[in-house]
Amino acid sequence: MHTRAFRMNLNPGQEQEYLRRHTDIWPQLVALLRSAGIEDYRIFLDPHSHALFAVMTHQVPHGLDDLPAHPVMQRWWQHMQDIMPSNADGSPCSVDLQPMFSLPPT
């Protein structure tokens, strides 16, 4: 397993809409993420800065590199563009976070 983290941003005032869309996440998107090897995916909001912090655990090897070209992922990105900064290809603007600490095993 491998864990990665990244930061995105949410447009101010869109917290409830973001939460609603993820509460109603499409089953076909969940299936796609699982088929790419994602085991756990959590997103946290800093309400003061509107920053979204995501932590994802996935299998190695994985199929994450194929996700951007998949039609379901493309539709999801289009669905989210009005509430968060996005790149020209529709993907959310994101910055990979550098690991700095991990609790040592017992």
Residues noted as catalytic: 22
| H helix runs in 1-106, sequence order | 15-23, 27-35, 71-80
Measured CA to CA in angstroms, residue 8 lies from 48, 66, 94 at distances of 14, 20, 5
Query: And the tokens for 6?
Result: 């990244």
Neighbours of 74 (CB within 10 A): 15
